[in-house]
Amino acid sequence: MNKRLDRRKQYTRMVLKESLMDLMKEKPISSVTVKELCERADINRSTFYTHYADQFALVEQIEDELIQDLEKYLNTVNFDTEEETKEMTERLLEYLASRADDCKTLLNYDGDSTFQRKVTLVAYRFILNEQMTAKQIDPTITEYISSFIVNGCIQMMKLWLYNNMDKSPKEMSLLINNFINKGLYGLSVK
């Protein structure tokens, strides 16, 4: 009996997540109501409230699960050298590509999102802390450089997702790392 209940809970949560993601493709989370979410999921409101406080709690859980999954994925790579940093960036792009639909929805191209802030924190932790230390950059400007680089990278990744990943993760990784390490002058002109 307990196993059956767990499956029902899993199913309910899965349907609610899918329904919310579908609704968020149509409008921002602030415009989504619990009523329409429950109608889309074919779940009654009392069932919804046994799982989540509101639609914002549900989207936060979706974001947190994606971030945890992303961190597990990135933890498998060492990134002490520039070559390993390229690999880290490529792996991040591969992960985004594997979850492109969800990431596009949560990154919300038209504005800032909590998911974008969470991805930014992951990027700071995984990529920049090591690079800034390795390059022995003046600590009084590290925060500015990090902000410039990470936010630029996030915007490039969002654009890449919204351009239907018109370049491979490897090509994008090379482009991003060239911007970071060589700036505009390091790019070849066609």
Residue 112 has pLDDT above 80, yes or no: no
Give the whole-angstrom CA distance, residue 190 versus residue 187.
9
pLDDT band with cut points at 50, 70 and 90 for residue 5: low
Regarding pTM above 0.85, the answer is no
Domain 2-52 in CATH 1.10.10? The answer is yes
Instruction: Give the closest residue to 64 by CA, choosing from 96, 106, 105.
Output: 106
- Domain extents for the chain? 2-52, 60-183
Q: Give the model confidence (pLDDT) of 117-168 as tens digits.
A: 888 888 777 666 555 555 666 777 877 888 888 888 888 999 999 999 999 9
Tokens of 10: 């899993």
Note the pLDDT of residue 58.
95
CB burial class (10 A; 0-12, 13-18, 19+) of residue 118? Answer: middle
Question: Domain 60-183 - what CATH class?
Answer: mainly alpha
Give the whole-angstrom CA distance, residue 63 versus residue 113.
10
Residue 8 has pLDDT above 70, yes or no: yes
Note the pLDDT of residue 6.
86
Residue 156 · residue 176 · CB < 8 Å: yes
